[in-house]
Amino acid sequence: MAVNPADSPVFGTLYGSDAMRAVFDERAFLQRMLDVEAALARVQGRLGIIPAKAGDAITAAARIENLDTAELAASVRNVGYPVVGLVKGLSRAAGEAGRWTHWGATTQDILDSALALQMRDGLRLIRAELCAIADALARQAEAHRNTVMAGRTHLQHALPITFGLKCAIWLEPLMAHVDRLDQLRPRVELVQFGGAAGTLASLGDHGVAVLSGLGKELGLGEPAAPWHVVRDGVAEAASFLGLVCGSFAKIATDLILLSQTEVGEVSEPYAEGRGSSSTMPQKRNPIASEYILAATRAVQALVPLMQDAMAGDQERATGPWQAEPLALPQCFVLAHGAAQHTQAIAEGMVVDAARMRRNLGATGGLIMAEAVMMGLAPELGRETAHHAVKHACDVALSQGIGLADALARESEVSGKLDRGAIDRLTDPARYLGSTQAFIDRVLTHARPLRRGT
């Protein structure tokens, strides 16, 4: 029974992904804990701390099918944590070797190491999506590098840009996110093993050797000391997901605005019934973008909870740490769902270049006012040129004529520019500045991501 729609068999496809749910599913988490217990037994068997055969037997028994779910649930309700019941079930399944299970470990060692394994798998999924989205946006940037459209500031026409540049701007932060992800993984994917109070006293002189061996066995990094109450790594993972979703939300917000009926320049990929209304047959709502924004708000709302959990008291926290499972799995699931929506948009967006061109001309050339001013400035000086063009803009607006016609009526302008020069200065395709260079720079930077490296 799902309470959160991100975990629902009906609504889950809107808010998350099956792949990420499989990583953070309850049974998957229990299996990860069993994996940690098995790895611990193997390492201790090799080091001679427990019999080697016991390590083999515990490993063979460490399967979710060997746990009694009802018994485990009853234990969790009583104890408050799943590890006591899990160890009991594992020990029983391992037979005589079961008495060597969980040797020298504490509950949080198992929980945190299992969480580190989940985060490792989750971050891999996020990275793959980022690379796929980057590749799709790079292809769109290349395809539309010469598709001229209105650039907008404060939602008003500003200067001409190209849709290829807009795609490059969407792409740029994704490259930074991949860099961030690669940099944070060594701080996040760490084994946890500290024993009851972070000293591993029960293992005598073998504590560090077991810690090191367990990290290698699980494919996790080795911390300098246990991180029972050092939660910056898991908080950083959540914060990172908040940043990633913020970049997805930027794309979604732009697309929603560009797909408005009055604008109609870009729309989401269309499939029969997609984004339809129960009462208005004509509607094609930007449904993927809407769920990207919903997921982003949820993830970013959960980030403070994860950061607040960093204030763990003494050697074992009395509440903040226990709040993490309420937030972190949902951050991963929602972020991956947003990533999949973003990938679908990036790959299949419908671009109406003709509508872009029509909208570009909607103001009768006023979008080119700066271009004309800069063209006149060497002859008249910037301030005089600004005044002359501003007056021409006012005339164009008040009389409902194009900027080029209004400029031709300005004596200060017509004395310096003939009509051909005015037409050239008011051609949007001639005033794109470093657009092509910026697209090229972004595409060059994105090349390794497009190869998935």
What radius of gyration do the chain's Cα atoms show?
A: 30
- By DSSP bridging, strand 266-267 and strand 350-351 are antiparallel
Contact 294, 245 (CB under 8 A): no
pLDDT reported for residue 146: 97
Name the token pair of 385.
Answer: 């040129």
Whether the model clears a pTM of 0.85, i.e. scores above it, the answer is: yes
The full set of domain ranges for the chain reads: 5-357, 366-425
Name the token pair of 35.
Answer: 């994996």
Was domain 366-425 assigned CATH 1.10.150.130?
no
Overall fold of domain 5-357: Fumarase C; Chain A, domain 2 (1.20.200)
Alpha carbon distance 284, 302 (integer Å): 31
Alpha carbon distance 31, 50 (integer Å): 22
Contact 328, 111 (CB under 8 A): no
Number of residues in the chain: 453
pLDDT reported for residue 1: 65
pLDDT reported for residue 408: 86
CA distances 124 to 86, 121, 336, 349, Å, are: 27, 5, 11, 26
- Catalytic residue set: 277, 316
Task: Kindly report each contact of residues 218-221 with a partner whose C-beta sits within 8 Å and lies 24 or more positions away, as own/partner.
Answer: 218/35, 218/36, 218/39, 218/113, 218/116, 218/117, 218/191, 219/120, 220/113, 220/116, 220/117, 220/120, 220/189, 220/190, 220/191, 221/186, 221/189, 221/190, 221/191
Enter the DSSP assignment of 368: G
List the pLDDT tens digit at each of the 453 positions of the chain: 678 888 888 888 888 999 999 999 999 999 999 999 999 999 999 999 999 999 999 999 999 999 999 999 999 999 888 999 999 999 999 999 999 999 999 999 999 999 999 999 999 999 999 999 999 999 999 999 999 999 999 999 999 999 999 999 999 999 999 999 999 999 999 999 999 999 999 999 999 999 999 999 999 999 999 999 999 999 999 999 999 999 999 999 999 999 999 999 999 997 765 555 556 566 578 899 999 999 999 999 999 999 999 998 898 888 888 899 999 999 999 999 999 999 999 999 999 999 999 999 999 999 988 888 888 888 888 888 888 889 988 998 999 899 888 888 888 887 878 888 888 988 999 999 999 999 999 999 998 876 655
